[in-house]
Structure 1
Amino acid sequence: MLLHGTDALKEAAAAGHALPGFVAYNLETVQGITAAAEAAEAAGLPVLIQAGSSPFKHAGRETLMRLALDAAARSAAPLGVHLDHSRDLDEITACLDAGYTSVMVDGSHLPFAENIALTKEAVRRARDHGAWVEAELGALPGDEDVSTDAVASSGAMTDPVQAGEFVAATGVDALAVAVGNVHGFTKDSARLDLDRLAAIHEAVPVPLVLHGASGLPVEELHGALARGVAKVNVNAELRRAYLEGVRVTLPSALPGSDVVSLWAAGRDAVRDAALDVIGHLTPRVEEANA
Structure 2
Amino acid sequence: MLLHGTDALTAAAREGRAIPGFVAYNLETVQGIVAAAEAAGRPVLLQAGSSAFKHAGRAALMALALDAARRSDAALGVHLDHSRDLEEITACVEAGYTSVMVDGSHLPFAENVALTRKAVERAHAAGVWVEAELGALAGDEDVSTDARAAGGSMTDPEQAAEFVAATGVDALAVAVGNVHGFTAEPVRLDLDRLARIRAAVAVPLVLHGASGLPEEQLLGAVRRGVAKVNVNAELRRAYLQAVSSALPGALPGADVVSTWTAGRDAVAATALRITQKLSPTPSTTQPT
TM-score norm. by structure 2 comes to: 0.96
2:269 alignment partner, SS class = helix
The answer to whether the 8 A contact 2:137-2:152 is kept is no
Residue matched to 1:86: 83
User: Does 2:128 correspond to 1:135?
Assistant: no
* Equivalent residue pairs, number: 282
2:278 alignment partner, SS class = coil
User: Does 2:48 correspond to 1:67?
Assistant: no
**1:177-219 C-alpha deviation (Å, 9 max, x unpaired):** 0000000011111110001100100101100000000011111
1:230 alignment partner, SS class = strand
User: Does 2:126 correspond to 1:121?
Assistant: no
Question: Unmatched 5+ residue regions in structure 1?
Answer: none
Aligned identity (percent) is 76
User: Does 2:202 correspond to 1:205?
Assistant: yes
Residue matched to 1:98: 95
One-letter amino acid of the structure 2 residue matched with residue 225 of structure 1:
V
Residue matched to 1:9: 9
Comparing 149-158 with 197-206, which one deviates more in the overlay? 149-158
Find the aligned partners of 2:23 and 2:119 in 1 and give their Cα distance: 21
1:255 alignment partner, SS class = coil
2:131 alignment partner, SS class = strand
Find the aligned partners of 1:190 and 1:57 in 2 and give their Cα distance: 29
Question: Unmatched 5+ residue regions in structure 2?
Answer: 283-288
Find the aligned partners of 1:78 and 1:282 in 2 and give their Cα distance: 14
One-letter amino acid of the structure 2 residue matched with residue 248 of structure 1:
S
C-alpha displacement of 1:155: 6.8
Find the aligned partners of 1:204 and 1:187 in 2 and give their Cα distance: 32
State the superposition RMSD in angstroms.
Answer: 1.2
Alignment partner of 2:154 out of 132, 151, 157: 157
The answer to whether the 8 A contact 2:26-2:61 is kept is yes
One-letter amino acid of the structure 1 residue matched with residue 21 of structure 2:
G
Find the aligned partners of 2:167 and 2:125 in 1 and give their Cα distance: 15
Residue matched to 2:170: 173
2:198 alignment partner, SS class = helix
Residue matched to 2:54: 57
The answer to whether the 8 A contact 1:157-1:180 is kept is yes
Residue matched to 1:189: 186
Find the aligned partners of 2:151 and 2:11 in 1 and give their Cα distance: 31
User: Does 2:263 correspond to 1:266?
Assistant: yes
The answer to whether the 8 A contact 1:154-1:180 is kept is no
The answer to whether the 8 A contact 2:138-2:151 is kept is no
Find the aligned partners of 1:239 and 1:189 in 2 and give their Cα distance: 19
Find the aligned partners of 1:67 and 1:121 in 2 and give their Cα distance: 27
User: Does 2:106 correspond to 1:109?
Assistant: yes
Find the aligned partners of 2:246 and 2:192 in 1 and give their Cα distance: 44
Find the aligned partners of 2:214 and 2:123 in 1 and give their Cα distance: 34
User: Does 2:226 correspond to 1:235?
Assistant: no
2:149 alignment partner, SS class = coil
